[in-house]
Copies of this chain bind each other. A is one copy, B any other.
């Protein structure tokens, strides 16, 4: 092998996002699903212009251990189904009560609350159906897929994303302590970012040592992404993770800028990103795609 060629993060993001979108479109078809409305309302949110960050991290995590990302596409699609369902449920009147997401009406505004709840339930269930893809099990090994299902359920469930969202709605307008804020972020968004990277590595055949490095990268990068998201939300720049600018302040959500100020938040994001990059050193070739993604999302901004 020649010297490592640096990865163009934007092109990488675009390429794998498009590939994941193709797969989602093929696996959740516009026509033929029964009942048809069910598939229509799931697709409404699934194809509303997400960045596909989690699936791309899954592909990059797979590549980082020498795996073939095409082989983990069902898992990448599963991650996006879970992310999408979480947005649909979070937008409900009983939670954040958002009417718009990425400039279009939220699912419950279009389809009604009951149907939006069911669309979320359907997407969450579908995610695990995708994880059980026969071809992926053949390539990755059934044992690794089962470990992946356990990992995904842990990250998305009560002790992960869902638990974090509960802490978030219970916190209400209170800004809370830095520790409380980090705990909410760690569970609500961090767990799934970490899981995305690790799932790619696991299904790509990574060693225990490689998976530990990916977990560390995922934790620190996840925190950095979240702080960047908080900052962009305040600054009104095009957002990274899909919320309307200023929506956190409107909901009086606890955020890094609210608690630490903008300058300290930028510093914390840079530090977390540097830790994420340092974590990659045990991986063959230093995992250039993962490194480029972290740099692209965090460092180039500050």
Contact = CB atoms under 8 A, between A and B. Distances in A.
Given A122-B157, A124-B121, A146-B137, A112 B132 contact: no
A182 interface: no
A132 B118 contact: no
A156 B37 contact: no
A118 B170 CA distance: 12
A31 interface: no
Contacts of A114: 92, 94-95, 166, 169
B167 A153 contact: no
Contact of A126 (B141, B146, B158): B158
Contacts of A131: 128, 149
A113 interface: yes
Interface string A70-113: 00000000000000010001001011000000000000000011
Majority-rule SS of A interface residues: helix
Contacts of A89: 117-118, 121
A159 to B, nearest CB: 6
B125 A158 contact: yes
A49 interface: no
B122 A163 contact: yes
Q: Which of A117, A122, A149, A150 has the most CB of B within 10 A?
A: A117
